[in-house]
């Protein structure tokens, strides 16, 4: 599970950095948080970011770099999803089995 968790965390964090930061001149403090929660044989990896847009699974053209992150997350996890956070932001999570 260690290798899978590493890859899932990397993909979720990369997406948060690329798509979850609010692009504005007043960006003095934006936070991305990682949480790992273990319950028995399951580990939930969650990333929160200040962005409001839902994560979207892309279908990149052959040989197009990038765009497969959520496909990787889906293939390595038991389930994954996202939810809005108040007053802004979102959490994207994936559950892995050990």
At residue 63, the pLDDT reads: 87
**E strands present in the chain:** 33-39, 42-49, 79-84, 90-97
Written as six digits, the tokens of 88 are 């802004």
Could you read off the pLDDT tens digit of each residue along the chain, which spans 98 residues? 789 999 999 999 999 999 998 765 556 678 899 999 999 999 999 999 999 899 999 988 888 888 899 999 999 999 999 999 998 899 999 999 97
Domains of the chain by residue range:
2-97
At residue 14, the pLDDT reads: 96
Closest CA to 49 of 26, 36, 30, 29: 30
**Domain 2-97 has what CATH class?**
alpha beta
At residue 88, the pLDDT reads: 87
At residue 23, the pLDDT reads: 65
């Amino acid at each position: 599970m260690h290798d899978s968790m590493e890859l899932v965390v990397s993909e979720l964090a990369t997406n948060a950095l690329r798509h979850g930061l609010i692009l504005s001149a007043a960006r003095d403090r934006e936070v991305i948080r990682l949480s790992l929660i273990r319950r028995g044989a399951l580990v939930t990896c969650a990333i929160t970011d200040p962005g409001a847009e839902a994560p979207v699974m892309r279908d990149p053209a052959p040989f197009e770099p990038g765009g497969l992150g959520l496909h990787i997350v889906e293939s390595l996890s038991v389930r994954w999803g996202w939810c809005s956070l108040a007053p802004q932001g979102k959490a994207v999570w994936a559950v892995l089995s050990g």
